[in-house]
Chain A
């Protein structure tokens, strides 16, 4: 037992070392000084209170998206459509804010209402992917991808059409909302909202408890492991799949709502910022364990924020963060396979 655990730890660490080595090779291939690049990322993520706060700002949507994805993963579903669900969350939030901003209702009521609208929007989009899957036989990966493109088209149409800025529509998004409609942040310059942070932390705790400590979580696991067997044992399969889609959509919609109310204060073209896809990577790297999601998501957020300065300081593309994240997940998957193979032989 102890030996197996030691070799597991060895493989995990080995995977991380190999991933970093490979990323270093990529840096050398791009004629970039690797140490300077890594130092730049670390400084860019924790070098000052401001950048550290920015890491938390990007941690929030990533944590929310991953929390939702854990539910669909448990049900055995690949909810790639989460990007569109985040976008729809942002669209519904903007819609509600636009509708109520001149109504005279107190902002302290408008903000929660619009956030709830965002959650509903995300759930709606997720249910659409779920319905395509359960009733139309369309694989959730392709249904979801298609819906992602539709969501971004809808978003662009709104920004360039009905919700365009007075005068000329532009890629910079819709007219910003009045500051009274923003989620309060820790300081006037910062985009870090304590309320959003709290929501994200609650989300991951709720998902952890839902999956670990409830009957529903157990049945969802049964559906994910073997839908046919679960069905024969009396677990209504499609209802559970739809519920898991809806729940994931709610968290994704919340992520979109947070982006609108506390980060951008308006609707922008790429409002989902790839957090949904990144959330899939976080969930995989965390081995689909809720307890590990928060630290892994924090690390990924730090890599993203840390690499923003790369183009300015080292004239390198900031996609280096994605290269490192991708190789990490890839090699952790490979190490996992290697471990299972070794265990199977021994």
Chain B
């Protein structure tokens, strides 16, 4: 393995994490406001199909991406209406939407299956692209990958360093307190659910207009990514930086799976492709186990220095969801 090969591979990891980042940041924004949007898996498929269809018809990549964001926003609006206004279970509505969006994308995408459409090209940045090493790694990517870096940073600044961000955290943690301080909780939840849906919706066209250009129906290989996105959101502890770490780890594992394939002839490719999933369960276990009551109880029997060290390690991994996640808000 040459240095060049590794750098190109890692640049690919950055690019393949981009759609996951858009999905994770979108979901993080929505969940920070207290709304779980479980429709991710189907939504990515529908936005991929819709974005490709629009780009194919209009010959405009920009409109294709716009279509992805609009579809994502509309699906989120439907969820917001059902869960905030009609007070139905977010999980139930989200699950129905995920299956519905998936089947809609397969049905409506049938006529454009296999067509060749426009494709986003890479945008090497003059001068910087020729830097030794990091030129290949960081500056010969496509625009959406650059945008994904900006998105993570912007989301972190917004959530943790601005007043509206403080309010966003407030309506997800203690909506009653936020309400007393003058926030229109339900209207803000609508806003952030739709905004989160639109951001996540961009993940679709990143696949269909860039990474896996085109629409190939059931064999697109996109079914399942949305679930990974939701898991990484939890792993990320609703923090954009930690979420980004999760997304890059996941993409890195997938790339390693591909690279290591020839070295492990006994392992069928289908198994390596799903290898990240058990790891995902394990990480979720580590992230959550600190919240379990029995852990605390059994730790209390250990000698104090050992206990303190374990508690510290668990707390570093631990992630606690926004306190009001999934619960509707009532004024009285």
Interface residues of chain A, those whose CB is within 8 Å of chain B, are 26, 29-31, 78, 80, 132, 135-139, 141-143, 145-147, 149-150, 152-153, 156-157, 160-161, 277, 280-281, 284, 315-317, 319-323, 325-327, 329-330, 333-334, 336-338, 340-341
Interface residues of chain B, those whose CB is within 8 Å of chain A, are 38, 78, 82, 85-88, 91-93, 95-97, 99-100, 102-104, 106-111, 217, 224, 227, 230-231, 234, 266, 268, 270-271, 273-275, 277-278, 280-281, 284-285, 288-292, 294
Q: A161-B268, A337-B86 are in contact. Are A326 and B277 (CB under 8 A)?
A: no
Shortest distance in angstroms between A324's beta carbon and chain B's nearest beta carbon? 9
Are B288 and A137 in contact, CB atoms less than 8 angstroms apart?
Answer: yes
Residue of B230, B280, B292 touching A135 (CB-CB under 8 A): B292
Residue of A nearest to B289 (CB): A136
Is chain B's binding surface mostly helix, strand, loop or mixed? helix
Q: How distant is the Cα of A323 from the Cα of B46 in the complex, in angstroms? A: 12
Query: Inside 8 A of B224's CB, which chain A residues have their CB?
Result: 149
Query: Inside 8 A of A150's CB, which chain B residues have their CB?
Result: 274, 277-278, 281
Q: How distant is the Cα of A315 from the Cα of B113 in the complex, in angstroms? A: 12
Q: How distant is the Cα of A281 from the Cα of B99 in the complex, in angstroms? A: 9
Q: How distant is the Cα of A138 from the Cα of B287 in the complex, in angstroms? A: 8
Q: How distant is the Cα of A80 from the Cα of B99 in the complex, in angstroms? A: 12
Q: How distant is the Cα of A157 from the Cα of B267 in the complex, in angstroms? A: 8
Q: How distant is the Cα of A141 from the Cα of B41 in the complex, in angstroms? A: 13
Q: How distant is the Cα of A317 from the Cα of B289 in the complex, in angstroms? A: 44
Query: Inside 8 A of B278's CB, which chain A residues have their CB?
Result: 146, 149-150
Query: Inside 8 A of B100's CB, which chain A residues have their CB?
Result: 322-323, 326-327, 330
Give the 10 A-B CB pairs with smallest separation, nearest first.
A337-B86, A326-B100, A322-B103, A149-B277, A137-B288, A146-B281, A319-B106, A153-B274, A156-B270, A319-B103
Q: A26-B108, A317-B217, A330-B93 are in contact. Are A157 and B270 (CB under 8 A)?
A: yes
Residue of A nearest to B292 (CB): A137
Q: How distant is the Cα of A139 from the Cα of B319 in the complex, in angstroms? A: 13
Shortest distance in angstroms between B75's beta carbon and chain A's nearest beta carbon? 11
Residue of A30, A135, A138, A280 touching B281 (CB-CB under 8 A): A138
Are A337 and B99 in contact, CB atoms less than 8 angstroms apart?
Answer: no
Q: How distant is the Cα of A229 from the Cα of B80 in the complex, in angstroms? A: 29
Query: Inside 8 A of B104's CB, which chain A residues have their CB?
Result: 26, 319, 323, 326
Shortest distance in angstroms between A167's beta carbon and chain B's nearest beta carbon? 16
Query: Inside 8 A of B87's CB, which chain A residues have their CB?
Result: 337, 340-341
Highest count of chain A CB atoms <10 Å: which of B100, B102, B224, B280: B100
Are B107 and A137 in contact, CB atoms less than 8 angstroms apart?
Answer: no
Are B268 and A157 in contact, CB atoms less than 8 angstroms apart?
Answer: yes
Query: Inside 8 A of A320's CB, which chain B residues have their CB?
Result: 103, 107
What are 24 sample pairs from A and B whose C-beta atoms fall under 8 A apart?
A: A26-B108, A137-B290, A137-B292, A139-B234, A139-B288, A142-B230, A142-B280, A142-B284, A143-B281, A146-B231, A146-B281, A150-B277, A152-B274, A157-B270, A160-B268, A161-B268, A281-B99, A284-B92, A319-B106, A320-B107, A326-B104, A333-B88, A337-B85, A338-B86
